[in-house]
Amino acid sequence: MKNKIKNISVYLSCLILLVFISTRLNAQDPAELSTESTETKIKPVKNTFESAVLLDNQTVIVPIKGTFEMDIQHRFGTINNGAKDLFGLFAPSNIRIALSYVPIKNLLVGAGITKDRMQTDIHLKYALIKQTPTKFPVSISYFGNMVIDGRDGSYFRYNVHRFSYFNQLIIARKITEKLSIQVAPSLSWFNNIEGYVNSNGDIKNKMKNEHIAISTMIRYKLSESTALNFGYDQALTAHPTNNPHPNLCFGFEKTTSAHNFQIFAGNYYGIVPQSNNLFNQNDYMKSQYVLGFNISRLWNY
């Protein structure tokens, strides 16, 4: 059953990607456009998404130059214990606080700290292509980070084992004024993966150091300031043991001129993308959802 779900999700992501490439936002004939004044500049599509972070993933969006951003991301425990821990609200929680800045056009740089594994991350995002009528059918951004695991040294043989890395190509399209879709393949790398000793005395890794995954996100606007969001993350790499479960998330978003607030449910608890993609063991087939929220605050200078 899980293999069927995995195959369907991969096919769906590929289909959406093909739709991105093969369709155009503006159906106007190029011959008609050529008759228009050359002084009219065709501008990129705006507000494909309202925030740089949505649910458990980054979006294609890079704020305008001079924007300072603060993100607070919070995840409660799983809800499957019911009233025992008030559906995860009294369970151990995870939180990340991050600061980002856009020093030049199309480039965001920042850093964050996460409670789980005492992680510190340095990240960047660069807008490679912006969806533009008659020119580019999609927007494409690159996101990458480097994360340091800050736990006690007993967890690591060498300090270099603390490091992990994440690389993602984000491809998005604003289909209509209300509907936006995004597909994002990613590669995670951990310098150190937990191992074990087999019957022959050989040290074996429980998982591979590298991990390939793909995410899909859909946003539908209910009004100028509210939207419904849906996301799905699927692992593509098969590991010897401890294969991660996919993430199914959905929620509600409220936006103001300087704030973005999201409340949602999903399977991911780790917040840091490579930790989520490689280590997630929450199974939505067993109702192992966590409640979460994201808050973003923007300042422009």
Q: Strand pairing partners for 232? A: 216, 248
Q: Residue 198: its pLDDT value, please?
A: 61
Q: Is the pLDDT score of 259 beyond 50?
A: yes
CB burial of 79-102 (b: ≥16 within 10 Å; e: otherwise) equals beeeeeeebbeeeebbebebebbb
Q: Is the pLDDT score of 16 beyond 70?
A: no
Q: Residue 200: its pLDDT value, please?
A: 66
The structure tokens 């929450």 sit at 282
pLDDT tens readout for residues 156-173: 888 999 999 999 999 999
Picking from 268, 272, 282, 269, the residue whose alpha carbon sits closest to that of residue 119 is: 272
Instruction: Work out the mean pLDDT of the chain and round it to a whole number.
Output: 88
Q: Is the pLDDT score of 113 beyond 60?
A: yes
Q: Strand pairing partners for 124? A: 109, 144
**Local structure of residue 36 (DSSP, 8 states):** S
pLDDT tens readout for residues 41-76: 889 999 999 999 999 999 999 999 999 999 999 999
Please provide the DSSP assignment of 245-296 as one string.
PPEEEEEEEEE-SSEEEEEEEES----SHHHHHHH----GGGT--EEEEEEE
- Which amino acid appears at position 169 of this protein? L
List, in order of start, the domains of the chain with CATH numbers: 2-300 (2.40.160.40)
Confidence of residue 201 (pLDDT cuts 50, 70, 90): low
Total-model pTM: 0.85
pLDDT tens readout for residues 232-241: 999 999 998 8
Alpha carbons 228 and 220: distance in angstroms, whole number:
5
Picking from 135, 231, 133, the residue whose alpha carbon sits closest to that of residue 174 is: 133
The structure tokens 């590298």 sit at 210
- Alpha helices in the chain, H assignment, sequence order: 2-22, 30-33, 273-279
Q: What is the mean pLDDT of residues 10-18?
A: 52
Q: Residue 9: its pLDDT value, please?
A: 55
Q: Residue 156: its pLDDT value, please?
A: 87
The structure tokens 């999201």 sit at 262
CB 48 within 8 A of CB 174: yes
pLDDT tens readout for residues 236-257: 999 988 899 999 999 999 999 8
CB burial of 114-130 (b: ≥16 within 10 Å; e: otherwise) equals bebbebbbebebebebb
Q: Residue 38: its pLDDT value, please?
A: 47
Listed in sequence order, the residues at least 6 apart from 135 whose beta carbon sits closer than 8 Å to its beta carbon are 42
